[in-house]
């Protein structure tokens, strides 16, 4: 293990252990709800009482680098640097300054050397990054889109935590969602705002959006068609001739040609309209990938006419979002004790509301909930607050998520009246 690997591994462990410090750990429960954003789009846990390890790793990545703490509006990684400045080396301090400016983004795979590295292209900015990761690079394909956080450690880039993998046809959905929300972000905060700031503040919503799209059975393309993963497979009689014809056709662009066996083209124009159709040629097989059945039919007609005599149709297939299973492959990461079970989640909430009941609230004109109960006018406002809490946690309960029994608050408040 070289020096950069050692520093990366050491800092990863120190950061995850720092999250378990009481003044940081106490904020994870509420932060988790913010990160999930919408109870209707929350991923269902695999176990009744456990938050899925992969889900928690995604949350932890966001919590360390992007979440702003409630008490001082600082990111956790900034607080770690401040609290640990006397206990970290100059080398580690330089690395942490690089890490602070990282974001979790979405990338196309430009090249892979399995077991060593992969070359990524950010689908929003086009910036390329070489990431050294033996495990992840062995599990990627050139037709993947990944969501990841590359972090630079001296002369190398590593993945921090989970790498989520999606089909390439998800790219238009991701880019469209990014453009709409980044533009709204700049309107609200000023045109000078950067992509980095947006991704750190609201990038997690992109993942929620994709999860929501997968959860629901119907999604429309910009043309108003049902969005599906549609494929057509062909066997080739003259591979070299097909590659020659496609390469000379102005409607196609070369996406990847990083191996002798696999070549990927994009069909950019179909029937005079802009298109985003991917053609994979591997060995003597060709696969056409589209995002709707109508587009696939048009693409097949075009390709079979263009390449007449050089290919043979084998089969078509399609999957809607109910049938999709998004892969989430990553190298293992040592997680802190953290919020890992519903029981512990409930314990965190119990601790929070035991303090909340004696905390002055703006909604109660500066009174605590316990004191508001003793005043007839404030009691009505307190009831509105409690009803709002009940509705919030009822939504969480319906979504199968950890929730808080507000009746426990009511029982505690009743003790005040005795």
- DSSP assignments along 369-392, one per residue: HHHHTTSHHHHHHHHHHHHHHHHH
Q: Name residues of the chain where pLDDT drops below 50.
A: 1, 38-50, 217-221, 324-340
**Of how many residues is the chain composed?**
418
Distance CA 316, CA 296 (A): 9
Q: Is 243 helix (H, G, I), strand (E, B) or coil?
A: helix
Per the DSSP assignment, residues forming a β-bridge with 341 are 50
Residue from 34, 39, 33, 37 nearest 395 by CA: 39
Contact indicator for 341, 46 with CB cutoff of 8 Å = no
Task: Please state the separation of Cα 410 from the chain's center in Å.
Answer: 37
What is the dotted CATH code of the domain comprising 229-319? Answer: 3.30.310
Q: Which single residue is written with the structure tokens 């039919």?
A: 297
In whole angstroms, what is the distance from residue 267 CA to residue 279 CA? Answer: 7
Nearest to 401 by CA among 40, 56, 63: 40
Query: Cα dist. 141→86, 144, 159, 387 in Å?
Result: 43, 6, 17, 50
What is the model's pLDDT at position 225? 54
> Of 231, 229, 236, nearest to 286 (Cα)?
236
CA distance 369 to 70: 20
Dist CA 389 CA 26 (whole Å): 19
pLDDT (0 to 100) of residue 52: 65
Using one digit for the tens of pLDDT, what is the confidence trace for 326-376?
444 344 333 334 444 555 566 677 777 888 888 888 888 888 888 888 887
What is the dihedral angle through the alpha carbons of 6, 9, 15, 18, rounded to the nearest 10 degrees?
-80
What's the pLDDT score for residue 42?
39
Residue 389 CA: distances (Å) to CA of 69, 123, 266, 410: 21, 39, 50, 12
Distance CA 18, CA 58 (A): 17
How many whole angstroms separate alpha carbon 233 and alpha carbon 201?
42
Q: How far apart are CA 9 and CA 15, in angstroms?
A: 10
Q: Are 142 and 93 in contact (CB under 8 A)?
A: no
pLDDT at 275: 80
170 in Cβ contact with 210 (< 8 Å): yes
- Vertex 29, ends 412 and 55: CA angle to 5°? 140
Where do the structural domains in the chain lie, given as residue ranges?
A: 3-170, 229-319, 342-417
- What pLDDT score does 350 carry? 77
Q: Is 82 exposed, middle or buried (0-12, 13-18, 19+ CB in 10 A)?
A: exposed
């Amino acid at each position: 293990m070289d020096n950069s690997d050692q520093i990366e591994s050491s800092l990863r462990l120190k950061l995850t252990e720092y999250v378990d410090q009481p003044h940081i750990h106490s904020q994870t429960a509420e932060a988790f709800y913010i990160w999930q954003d919408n109870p209707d789009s929350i991923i269902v846990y695999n176990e009744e009482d456990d938050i899925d390890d992969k889900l928690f790793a995604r949350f932890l990545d966001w919590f360390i680098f992007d979440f702003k703490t409630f008490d001082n509006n600082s990111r956790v990684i900034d607080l770690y640097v401040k609290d640990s400045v006397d206990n970290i080396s100059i080398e580690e301090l330089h690395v942490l300054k690089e890490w602070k400016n990282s974001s979790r983004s979405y990338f196309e795979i430009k090249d892979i050397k399995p077991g060593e590295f992969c070359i990524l292209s950010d689908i929003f900015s086009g910036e390329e990054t070489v990431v050294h990761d033996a495990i992840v690079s062995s599990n990627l394909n050139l037709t993947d889109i990944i969501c990841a956080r590359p972090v630079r450690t001296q002369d190398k880039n590593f993945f921090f935590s989970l790498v989520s993998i999606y089909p390439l046809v998800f790219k238009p959905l991701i880019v469209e969602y990014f453009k709409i929300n980044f533009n709204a972000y700049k309107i609200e905060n000023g045109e000078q705002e950067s992509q980095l700031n947006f991704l750190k503040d609201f990038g997690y919503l992109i993942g929620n959006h994709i999860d929501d799209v997968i959860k629901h059975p119907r999604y429309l393309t910009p043309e108003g068609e049902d969005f599906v993963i549609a494929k057509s497979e062909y066997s080739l009689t003259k591979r070299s001739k097909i590659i020659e014809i496609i390469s000379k056709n102005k409607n196609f662009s070369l996406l990847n040609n990083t191996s002798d066996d696999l070549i990927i083209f994009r069909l950019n124009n179909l029937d005079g309209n802009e298109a985003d159709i991917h053609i994979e040629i591997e060995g003597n097989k060709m696969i056409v990938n589209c995002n709707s059945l109508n587009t696939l039919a048009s693409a097949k007609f075009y390709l079979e006419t263009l390449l007449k005599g050089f290919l043979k149709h084998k089969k078509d297939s399609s999957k809607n979002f109910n049938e999709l299973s998004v892969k989430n492959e990553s190298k293992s990461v040592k997680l802190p004790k953290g919020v890992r079970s519903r029981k512990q989640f409930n314990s965190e909430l119990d601790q929070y509301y035991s303090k909340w009941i004696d905390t002055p609230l703006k909604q109660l004109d500066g009174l605590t909930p316990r004191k508001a109960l003793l005043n007839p006018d404030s009691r009505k406002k307190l009831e509105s607050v409690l009803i709002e809490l009940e509705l919030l946690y009822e939504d969480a309960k319906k979504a199968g998520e950890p929730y808080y029994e507000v009746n426990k608050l009511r029982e505690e408040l009743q003790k005040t009246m005795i």
